[in-house]
């Protein structure tokens, strides 16, 4: 017999269901048209993504995403009489439309939120009874919001435009953040200037908001494969500057050459890490397990680093804190362009090395990594 999870997964993959959801959505263009007030901030930016350095054969996925892309101006919309519903705070307008900007601009992710088992069970038992209300609020709740990479890529950077909106309007909305958030997430909000009574943890239920503030997602919508992981450079620089000015990062006890170990993970571990570190011994690399360090310790580590070697994983989000970094990303069977583009936006030198997949882990050529470090150091 099919379980509830099986049924919901079938619905998620059903094209008709997704089209039905899409017909009830406000995409970015609709949102701008429907907003009670629209505020534009920043300037258009052009970003060039050159191929990785010091490698003659980068993964094809990365080759496909190289090129020059223009990013539009950012904006903030104000919407009246909005409800936030369910574990991922689905944003619903007064006439029943879903705001896609608060669901990573992804129909699939919004559909997943709508058929979330907790939401469907709660709705069946309790209906949509509002637990709270707010006059002015911004929601930083949504798909994957409590994940390290997505929080620093898709959610926290939206506060740059909230800041400008607050200066322009004089209002100070409540900042709603994900339920059961890890400590580093709440700490990051404090580091960019939001704490105390400005913050409210989402309870996973429902709420009404008289005026919801919706900043544009700080990257292009997922609907366009050519720009699906394009970050807006100014938002990344703002997060880096705001956070670093509030962290004591000028320390002499952190290594300049960092190897990010994933021994605490269940996948993408470097199987021959001992041989790799031996090959890199001349540079003085230190192996670190990031889950053993606080957010502030990770910020200090990457701020002071000169070169980072790491298998693909959320820990590479920390290149956000570095300046003029050499970044070498190691891949196995799974290749993703996220950190290639983040590195390029931040002005880092970046190289990618394709290893040999060993199940879910990776075997890498130590000598190739050593040559790549040496090449980047000579740049």
Shared domain for 208 and 83, answered yes or no, is: yes
Query: Minimum mean pLDDT among 50-54, 143-147, 251-255, 262-266: which range?
Result: 251-255
Which residues sit opposite 288 in a β-bridge? 260
Helix axes 338-345, 233-244, angle to 10 degrees: 70
Q: Give yes or no: residues 265 and 217 share one domain.
A: no
Residue 307: CB atoms within 10 Å: 23
Report if residue 65 sits inside a domain: no
Same domain, 215 and 257: no
| Same domain, yes or no: 275 and 163 | no
Q: What's the CA angle centered on 217, arms 248 and 249, to 5 degrees?
A: 5
Could you tell me if 373 and 253 lie in one domain? yes
Residues 211 and 327 in one domain: no
The verdict on residue 127 lying in a domain is: yes
Q: Are residues 163 and 265 in the same domain?
A: no
Domain of 356?
Answer: 247-377
Q: Are residues 186 and 281 in the same domain?
A: no
Shared domain check, 83 and 17: yes
Residue 82 lies in a domain: yes
* Beta-sheet pairing, 45-49 with 67-71: antiparallel
Both 303 and 210 in one domain: the answer is: no
DSSP string, 19-45: HHHHTTEE-HHHHHHH-SEEEEES--E
In a domain, 260, yes or no: yes
Q: Write the pLDDT tens digit of every residue in 60-111.
A: 989 988 888 888 899 999 999 999 999 999 999 999 999 999 999 888 889 8
Q: What is the pLDDT of residues 345-372, one digit of tens each?
A: 999 999 999 999 999 999 999 999 999 9
Residue position matching structure tokens 């701020």 = 303
Statement to judge: residues 206 and 116 lie in one domain: yes
pLDDT recorded at residue 3 = 59
What's residue 148's pLDDT?
97
257-305 residue pLDDT tens: 999 999 999 999 999 999 999 999 999 999 999 999 999 999 999 999 9
pTM of the model: 0.91
Going by pLDDT thresholds of 50, 70 and 90, the confidence category of residue 164 is very high
For residue 67, being part of any structural domain is answered with: no
Number of domains making up the chain: 2
Judge whether 108 lies within some domain.
yes
Q: Nearest CA to 305 among 362, 349, 363?
A: 349
Q: Are residues 110 and 216 in the same domain?
A: yes
CATH code of residue 255:
3.40.50.360
Residue 142 structure tokens: 């949504």
């Amino acid at each position: 017999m099919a379980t509830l999870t099986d049924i919901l997964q079938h619905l998620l993959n059903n094209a008709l269901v997704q089209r039905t959801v899409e017909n009830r959505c406000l995409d970015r263009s609709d949102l701008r048209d429907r907003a009670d007030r629209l505020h534009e901030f920043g300037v258009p930016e052009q970003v060039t993504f050159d191929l990785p350095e010091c490698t003659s054969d980068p993964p094809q996925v990365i080759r496909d995403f190289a090129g020059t892309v223009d990013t539009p101006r950012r904006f903030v919309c104000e919407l009246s009489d909005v409800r936030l519903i369910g574990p991922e705070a689905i944003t619903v307008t007064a006439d029943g439309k879903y705001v896609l900007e608060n669901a990573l601009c992804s129909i699939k992710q919004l559909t997943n939120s709508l058929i979330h088992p907790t939401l469907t069970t709660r709705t069946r038992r309790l209906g949509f009874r509002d637990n709270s209300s707010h006059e002015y609020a911004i929601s930083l709740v949504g798909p994957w919001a409590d994940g390290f990479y997505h929080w620093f890529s898709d959610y926290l950077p939206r506060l740059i435009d909230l800041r400008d909106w607050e200066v322009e309007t004089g209002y100070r909305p409540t900042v709603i953040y994900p339920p059961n958030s890890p400590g580093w997430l709440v700490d990051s909000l404090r580091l960019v200037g939001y704490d105390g009574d400005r913050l409210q943890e989402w309870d996973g239920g429902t709420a009404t908001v008289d005026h919801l503030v919706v900043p544009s997602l700080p990257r292009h919508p997922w609907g366009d494969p050519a720009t699906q992981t394009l970050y807006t450079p100014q938002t990344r620089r703002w997060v880096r500057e705001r956070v670093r000015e509030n962290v004591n990062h000028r320390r002499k006890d952190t290594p300049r050459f960092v190897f990010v170990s994933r021994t605490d993970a269940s996948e993408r571990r470097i199987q021959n890490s001992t041989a790799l570190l031996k090959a890199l011994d001349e540079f003085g690399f230190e192996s670190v397990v990031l889950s053993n360090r606080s957010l502030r310790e990770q910020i200090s580590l990457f701020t002071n680093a000169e070169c980072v070697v790491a298998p693909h994983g959320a820990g590479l989000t920390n290149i956000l804190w570095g300046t003029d970094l050499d970044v070498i990303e190691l891949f196995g069977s799974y290749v993703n362009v996220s950190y290639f583009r983040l590195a390029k936006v931040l002005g880092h030198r970046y190289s990618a090395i394709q290893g040999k997949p060993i199940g879910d882990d990776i075997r890498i050529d130590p000598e190739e990594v050593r040559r790549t470090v040496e090449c980047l150091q000579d740049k």
